[in-house]
Amino acid sequence: MHDDRTLVEARLRRVLDERIRPAVYPESVPLQVAVWHAPGEPVPVEEGLAAEPEPVEAGARWGAPWGTSWFRVTGTVPEAWAGRTVEALLDLGFDENMPGFQCEGLVYRPDGTPVKGLNPRNQWVRIGAPVAGGEEVVLHIEAASNPVILDYHPFRPTRLGDKETAGHEPQYTLARMDLAVFDEPVWQLVMDLEVLGELMAELPVDSARRHDILRAVERALDAVDLQDVNGTAGRAREQLTGVLSAPAVPSAHRISAVGHAHIDSAWLWPLRETVRKVARTTSNMTALIEDEPEFVFAMSQAQQWAWVKEHRPEVWARVKKAVAEGRFVPAGGMWVESDTNMPGSEAMARQFVHGKRFFLDEFGIENEEAWLPDTFGFAAGLPQIIRAAGAKWLLTQKISWSQTNTFPHHTFQWEGIDGTRIFTHFPPVDTYNCSMKGSELAHAASNFKDKGRARHSLAPTGWGDGGGGTTREMVAKAARLRDLEGSATVVWETPRAFFEKAEAEYPEPPVWVGELYLELHRATLTSQAKTKQGNRRSEHLLREAELWAATAAVRTGFPYPHEELDRIWKTVLLHQFHDILPGSSIAWVHREARATYERIAAELNDIITAAQRALAGEGSRHLVFNPAPHSRHGVPAAGAGAPRLPQGTEVSPRAAGGYVLGNGLLRIEIDAHGLVVSAYDLDAGRETIAPGGAANLLQLHPDFPNMWDAWDVDSFYRNTVTDLTDAESVELGEDGASVRIVRSFGASRVTQVLTLPPGERRLAIDTEVDWHETEKFLKLAFPLDLHAERYASETQFGHAYRPTHTNTSWEAAKFEACNHRFVHLEEPGWGVAVVNDSTYGHDVTRTVRTDGDRGTTTTLRVSLLRAPRFPDPETDQGVHRFRHALVPGASIADAVREGWRINLPERHLTGAHEVAPLVTVDNDAVVISAVKLADDGSGDVVVRFHEAHGGRARATLTAGFEVTDVTVTDLLERPLTDAVGQDRDGERLTVRLRPFQLMTLRLRRR
């Protein structure tokens, strides 16, 4: 038989495009359209509905960037259409290739009832099925003219990312606005042919199944009268019945389709627009649930649910109804789909506390899965937090984006730093925007790395990023793929149903230990420095506010600010979303974030001051409040008293220029260029700085990645570096005990102050950068005389180790990594730490010196600033202030302590008396991360702590108040039935912790 395969396949493509798809709407009449443009920010629905619009026609330009236009469409269903299905086709000027990334709309009835959302892949509104004929149609569209930021030529700088710079030129051209007859048999034929054509393309050319489909398609095309598609669609479908009813083979891969719309809480649009995106998507999904009895939709991010409840009560009512039916599923149990690398320990815990509590309070639903399809890698401390929140599963997709290494599993146990394991799944479909294409399903089946041991995978199905969700076309395709020969099988299921099946069939999956590092988007650890500083400062201010307010509440009856703290926590958690905290959003988002963090800081400082004033009383004694979890200068952790200050630091000129600082513990030499050429540990008799090296060295690199400017730094940036050694001045500071250095480079200027505090083993480095570079990367280098094969960097509730070598591609790919408050490097018996108050990115390299002692130089470099131009062309321009400290001779315990101290400075107050801590612990390895009153308003004191040094710890916690009961709880402050018993003697409690173990105690007060 002659091979005419390509001929038939080409025929299918053309007939579908030019004859069958156009026949879905065989008749249409235009609607009358009028528009009113809101003068500023979006207006309430009732105001938009009441506005007086002006007539407009298809072809008109509309929509200034970030504007809102209210369209009113009116018309009459022709009498001749009686008994037929009629839809309104409302095309605002969509590009079908950009769902979620351009203009969108929400359709309302005249009474304000939302109907459904409009987006490039969802332009129809059902009028009637069937209609009687003669119906009057009146619809209102709240249309958002969001500009296209990520265009066909991506990553080009644009001013459209902020309404203050975007201009006022219309962005869109109004297109088709019609009433049309919807021919369902033709639409069903389109679905049949698309499914079979896509499946056929994935089958081997020599397979019998492919040729069976080919011949059935050929017969169907023969049966279609191209001059009367609508009259012959039925007989064409008859030719496809046999190939569509052939069942899948027993070994077929099994896909759990979950309706999905990953909506970025902010990204290429501001937060206020996400509120509307969520309303549009949830309107669409509740409508689809009503039409499709098997469809299940899952939505994560409790914040987005809360927005619907607050801003769209009519939509909320529909959502609640669908949730009650089990069809609209709260997923993930987090406040937002946050970054997981940079949020601190408590913040990461509170993501689950606030997210899970919202779903429990609103629906009585307990989430057992974490749902993070798009987050940029996963910190090694996360499994313990997931488990402590009462969850046990994790889903993500993003690791498939790694550029260097292919992750070896799709279903596995992920083990964190404390040994906790979480059953984890990476969908092998490799997208969180699955559209049920044959190529996607075939890829999921062939790509699945656990074949032979497992058979199930999950496919998040629907348009996401900018929202939109699942379409009726996706549902129709899934129905045909439920049990189809040659394809993976597809069934709509909840995340819970998938995980239960996957876990049951794969009881002993492989184990991955340590962080899930994304070999991409590494620059998100540095971009938008002020957003990162705002986050770090807010986290520590919240710790202080809870600590001092709880202490004052117990001691003085101070009114604990439950509502204020709840609101502020939720705001901070929202800004940890994985395109806000990582610095990858438009300028508008980060401009608003800076203002929000300033407001939060003012509120929290007011709470802290009021609580401390209540504790200190009226008096003239000088008191120092120590919010850190370790004592400082004789002031106990979480208490206040008079400090015992050590003797001062000696400063003398250096013979070759510069200065020498000494405090009896360290001797620091700063040369004439302002570089630290010696940091000598007097007790150990040990030099910190590598021979011939200089610390406090600012280094500047060109920074123009191949793509994803704000997200990525590519390894070739290291090929070119400029050491910023020229100094305008190196002189004593005004206090006479510090050294002030000023440098200029390019259009920027750096001022540093180096201080050796009396009685402390750390060199404090305060850096102010007036930054006006573009496409540059600024690092601060510390070449250390250390032979270290690995180093520790702080993560949530502990620290993780990374190798300093590049033996394999896995190590080489980690050329930029995350730390929280410290990085620690060590030889047996002696180490060095670098601590910080607001930076996250760093790199560690090692070289062997070729002359002299041939020793090893291990260089730690802190990442300070970048200057990408997309999506914010003015990223980080302006003045920035950073605090770091070099700690020679540091153990891991020193690193932990100094990291806390630099982030929680002492506060000075005058008062009447000292303040004893509310809770104390007698072992520095056990770090208290939170002291607060219980969220339920009971007045119970909640204490959260963890083992921080990486070893076993026994400690006694002592409450400074009368305790009637102690309960071990989960993060939501619920009793744990499987908690290990603790030894208690009155207000004293002995605890025993495994390495990095997290524990929460609830102390009931008399």
| Long-range contacts at 7-11 (CB < 8 A, ≥ 24 apart) | 8/214, 8/217, 8/218, 8/221, 9/197, 9/200, 9/201, 9/214, 11/218, 11/221
SS3 743: strand
SS3 895: helix
The DSSP H or E segment spanning 545 is: helix 529-556
Could you identify the residue written with the tokens 């400063």?
A: 651
For the question of residue 374 being annotated catalytic, the response is yes
CB 190 within 8 A of CB 476: no
Give me 24's structure tokens.
């879905």
Give dist(CA 822, CA 834) in Å, integer. 6
CB-based burial, 74-86: b 16+ in 10 Å, e otherwise: ebebbeebeebbb
CA 243 from centroid of its chain's CA atoms: 44
CB 233 within 8 A of CB 186: yes
- Residue 165 region, left (φ>0) first, then alpha (ψ -120 to 50), else beta? alpha
Largest CA distance in the chain: 103
Q: List 389's β-bridge partners, or say none.
A: none
- Residue 937 region, left (φ>0) first, then alpha (ψ -120 to 50), else beta? left
Give dist(CA 530, CA 256) in Å, integer. 41
HSE toward the beta carbon, residue 884, CA cutoff 13 A: 26
- DSSP character string of 206-259: T-HHHHHHHHHHHHHHHH--TT-HHHHHHHHHHTTHHHHHPPPPTT--EEEEEE
Q: Which of 103, 870, 40, 37 is nearest to 467 (CA)?
A: 103
Q: Rounded to a whole number, what is the distance in angstroms from the first to the last CA of the chain?
A: 91
Cα Rg of the chain, angstroms: 31
The DSSP H or E segment spanning 73 is: strand 67-76
Q: Which of 728, 737, 753, 722 is nearest to 881 (CA)?
A: 753
Give dist(CA 927, CA 900) in Å, integer. 10
- Residue 462 region, left (φ>0) first, then alpha (ψ -120 to 50), else beta? left
SS3 856: strand
**The one catalytic residue among 162, 183, 192, 374:** 374
Burial class from Cβ neighbours inside 10 Å (0-12, 13-18, 19+) for residue 500 reads: middle
Give dist(CA 861, CA 843) in Å, integer. 5
Give dist(CA 860, CA 790) in Å, integer. 12
Please list, in sequence order, all residues whose beta carbon lies within 8 angstroms of the beta carbon of residue 956, skipping any fewer than 6 positions away: 921, 922, 923, 988, 989, 990, 991
Q: What is the dihedral of CA 140, 142, 147, 148, to 10 degrees?
A: -70
SS3 689: strand
| Residues with active-site annotation | 374
